Structure 1
Amino acid sequence: MVEEQKSNQNHKKSIPPYVKAVAGSMGGIVEACCLQPIDVIKTRLQLDRSGAYKGIFHCGATIVRTEGVRALWKGLTPFATHLTLKYALRMGSNALLQAAFKDSHTGNISIHGRLLSGLGAGVIEALAIVTPFEVVKIRLQQQKGLSPELLKYKGPVHCARMIIREEGLFGLWAGAAPTVMRNGMNQAAMFTSKNAFDVILWRKHEGDGKVLQPWQSMVSGFMAGTVGPICTGPFDVVKTRLMAQSRSGDGVKYKGMFHAIRTIAAEEGVLALWKGLLPRLMRIPPGQAIVWAVADQVTGFYERRYLHNAPSL
């Protein structure tokens, strides 16, 4: 009886939001370095209106042949920085929101609480981190060639300054609406499904003292990362188109999120709203696998060191 009460008390212990924020940022650094080429290919495919690229492999080969291998890592600095900050904010804000939704008596959180926590974390990261960094990243990635004198934007800082000077500060928040929709839905699904897969596959509950092996975290993270891209594909395509267009000229092709959706569907067909889905599925699920493999080890270390003294799985 005493052991059971002790187990229940341990089960209620939770990992502080700052620990989850640190764990997420470390995972983001590793993910960015590994998967940047896929993100460059995805962006090029989404911006391709003429059919120059026949698919993901043709796109990658064309970039390497015409621009060199280094072009596959275009925009790495803003991408890595934004992933590091994004995951820190995502993991930390989700932990804070989950704490707010927990039952004060049992310490448990409902499925609705998990969904709302993930949704809130996605909205916060979209507005605070993702949108301005992705605007800069996409402007850099859409430039073809490597000669600085031929490029409009010389680097991430120069790009940000140019956008602000030509389009105003809010130019860095172009495409904010579809980004909020995409990230909010993605994180609501991801956090909820990651917890569900941990419980179903490995009988792992947060704060129970068990630490998943990296490969177990990767399986759960990969599966959790597959649902969002399929559901949010149109928002991602629209986000990319809105971010890529400069507002410094006479006019813009897309007036907003809904206008962009209608225009793309009318001119290119409905399936064009899912352009770049394959590279997204090649990037996001493996990215989540990498992030969670790192993050779970960091939070697991904290659980073993400060909450429990239990052996890993």
Structure 2
Amino acid sequence: MAENEGAPRRMQTIPPYVKAVSGSIGGIVEASCLQPIDVIKTRLQLDRSGAYKGIVHCGSTIIRTEGVRALWKGLTPFATHLTLKYALRMGSNAVFQSAFKDPETGALSNRARILSGFGAGVTEALVIVTPFEVVKIRLQQQKGLAPDLLKYKGPIHCAQMIIREDGILGLWAGAAPTVMRNGTNQAAMFTAKNAFDKILWRKHEGDGIILQPWQSMISGFLAGTAGPICTGPFDVVKTRLMAQSKSGGEPKYKGMIHAIRTIYAEEGLRALWKGLLPRLMRIPPGQAIMWAVADQITGFYERHHTHQVPL
């Protein structure tokens, strides 16, 4: 506590590449643990006939009819997607924060933190998230494990088929709701994570303090809860737009607004939050796992390579 008293101190910045590495490693661990919940979420969001009665029924039905391995469908693109997404998210957020920081004090206002998070979310949505999620969702919506009965044989074959049938832009189906979802999510998540670290643990970035993994998990879990509730409709619409293919005739949904209106008219308001519970089961725990790993890496860097400089 004595270090925080007396003359004001300027916190040194952690380089973007350190943030990127910490995020990518955290993404690998998260994907390996939480893939089954993501498969269940996708199946629930694509269910228009009420075939699944809930999370447990959906999971048990998949296991009974398709085998346990089906709960890890799409793992390769999902793990690659999370690794690259978190690397880009953490790295680009650090770049945006550096641009928005006060040049003299190094301070970052709450408004600048929100804008940095939103910018990172938009960047990851356009560069990484949309094409990888299109492939992942196409793989996850397939039922069964027999290769001869599956349209898509794997992630690369799936991507090739999408490009052949829908053109290169087919890999960016649902880009608009994805941008809105990720931009809003990351603006809230980075701001909330920083706030919880300060409130709960008195941790300030660059102060050299390394949080315990359980502390990072609590902050990450709490920061990851608000986004899914606020962005549920964007996530449902994203999934529906990504799942449809032009090869089946005229697409049912023409775009983000048309999809929202159609889902509301045909299935009711609650349908726009389909899959919310499995999202809440996946995203907050996922953020807890990712931050527990990432904070250890950035904390190690802080302890060995940064120090507080008097202003």
Question: With structure 1 as the length reference, what TM-score do the two structures score?
Answer: 0.96
Identify the residue that residue 166 of structure 2 maps to in structure 1: 167
CA change 1:102–1:59 in 2 (3 A) is: same
Aligned CA-pair RMSD? 1.5
Q: Which amino acid aligns with 2:107?
A: N
- Aligned 1:110-189 pairs, distance under 5 A: 110-189=109-188
CA distance in 2, matches of 1:16, 1:51: 49
The residue number in structure 2 matching 1:55 is: 54
Distance 2:171 2:4 in 1: 54
Measured after TM superposition, the shift of residue 42 of structure 1 is 0.0
Alpha-carbon contact 2:130-2:172 (below 8 Å) kept: yes
Is the 2:78–2:136 contact (alpha carbons within 8 Å) kept by the matching residues of 1?
yes
The SS at the match of 1:83 is: helix
**Aligned residues, how many?**
307
Q: Where does residue 238 of structure 1 map in the other structure?
A: 237
The residue that corresponds to 1:276 in the other structure is 275
CA distance in 1, matches of 2:69, 2:4: 57
Structure 1 runs of 4+ off > 2 angstroms?
2-9
Match of 2:181, SS state, is helix
Separation in 2 of the partners of 1:3 and 1:144? 59
Q: Flag structure 2 segments of 5+ consecutive residues without an equivalent.
A: none
In 1, the alpha carbon distance for the partners of 2:70 and 2:169 equals: 28
- Cα gap change, 1:6 to 1:295, in 2 (>3 Å): farther
Q: CA deviation at 1:106?
A: 1.1
Kindly state the Cα deviation for residue 78 of structure 1 after the two structures are TM-superposed.
Answer: 0.1
Counterparts of 1:12 and 1:6 in 2: how far apart (Å)?
15
Aligned mates of 2:41, 2:4 — CA distance in 1: 51
- Return the letter of the residue paired with 1:165: R
Cα drift, residue 14 of structure 1: 1.1
Are residues 12 and 73 of structure 1, via their aligned partners in 2, closer, same or farther at CA, if it must alter by over 3 Å? same
> 2:257, 2:68 → 1: CA distance?
36
Task: Determine the C-alpha separation between the residues in 1 that align with 2:67 and 2:4.
Answer: 62
Gaps of 5+ in 1: none
Q: Which residue of 2 aligns with 1:26?
A: 25
Other-structure match for 2:303: 304
Question: What amino acid is the match of 2:246?
Answer: R
Q: Distance in 2 between matches of 1:292 and 1:4?
A: 25
User: In 2, Cα distance between the equivalents of 1:116 and 1:247?
Assistant: 36
Which region of structure 1 is more displaced relative to structure 2, 104-113 or 279-288? 104-113
Superposed CA deviations along residues 15-57 of structure 1, whole A, max 9, x for unmatched, are 0000000000000000000000000000000000000000000
* 1:78-117 equivalence runs, <5 A: 78-117=77-116
CA distance in structure 2 between the partners assigned to 1:34 and 1:6 by the alignment: 45
